[in-house]
Structure 1
């Protein structure tokens, strides 16, 4: 490879600059009465991510993890964590940016958010909550399929 080849070949860069908790919410609307009930909870998990461009090659990705745990019709606790990360992303083709921001970065952030959720639940005097791993690659692929199907024109009705 000549010096000219090196000068024209883009050098990709992906690096993590910072990981931080952007927002936390923990609610126990039915405590202390909820502690007197038999502990057979049902939990639901909601995930969302958002991307903001901060500078030319600098992006903020925020993963929002929301867990609602109920005993019957009463909410035992509701915990929401916004786990943020700042990433340097340089010289990636536009076609790869969606997957990078929508799956790869959330995969990096999820273990941190998972730990915060577990700590908050324990500090709320509830049994430890361990969130199972999540395949953000699969979630991203499903999202892409949903977006593609929405853009497809509807089949004409048969006459």
Structure 2
């Protein structure tokens, strides 16, 4: 009985990191110049912006969300505009604050991002466009750049633009 209590205490103090759920929080597709845009053979120019943020929830739960905007331009016209937000709920317990910050800034986005990429590729294909496969992101580098920007201008501005 005493061994069970000791084991229970050790287990209750062990670090915990669990993915609870990944979900599509928001998705919008606009094709402002349809149907004419489908007849335009101009080579498209793709632009994207991406940002991550986290929000503390109750009971050691954290939501980490990645927001992405993809714009396709053909000359001066917008071919399509996709705005998407993919999020995950994670349980992070018994983890030191520094490690917790790294989990929220690097590990969680690494888990959520493939779902975002797949949803954007899928919705564009369903909208009759070739799928756009977003490039891989080095979330560790993204996080480091985010921290540098945050320190230099006192804000938490961590957008990537391309």
User: TM-score with structure 2 length normalisation?
Assistant: 0.84
State the Cα distance separating 1:21 from its structure 2 match. 0.6
Q: Which residue of 1 aligns with 2:45?
A: 42
Q: Which residue of 2 aligns with 1:128?
A: 131
What is the 5 A alignment of 1:54-133? Answer: 54-133=57-136
CA 1:119–1:138 in structure 2 vs 1: closer, same or farther (change >3 Å)? same
Q: Deviations over 1:138-158 (max 9, x none)?
A: 11001111222336xxxxxxx
Q: Which residue of 2 aligns with 1:157?
A: none
**2:29–2:81: 8 Å Cα contact kept in structure 1?**
yes
CA 1:93–1:38 in structure 2 vs 1: closer, same or farther (change >3 Å)? same
State the Cα distance separating 1:28 from its structure 2 match. 0.4
Q: Deviations over 1:6-61 (max 9, x none)?
A: 74994111000011111110110111111111141111111112212111311111
- Quick check: which has more Rg, 1 or 2? 1
Q: How far apart are the structure 1 equivalents of 2:10 and 2:19?
A: 25
Total equivalences in the alignment:
149
RMSD: 2.0
The list of structure 1 runs, each at least 4 consecutive aligned residues, that deviate by more than 6 angstroms after superposition, is none
Q: How far apart are the structure 1 equivalents of 2:118 and 2:153?
A: 36
State the Cα distance separating 1:84 from its structure 2 match. 1.2
Q: How far apart are the structure 1 equivalents of 2:70 and 2:38?
A: 18
Runs of at least 5 residues in structure 1 that lack an aligned partner in the other structure:
152-159
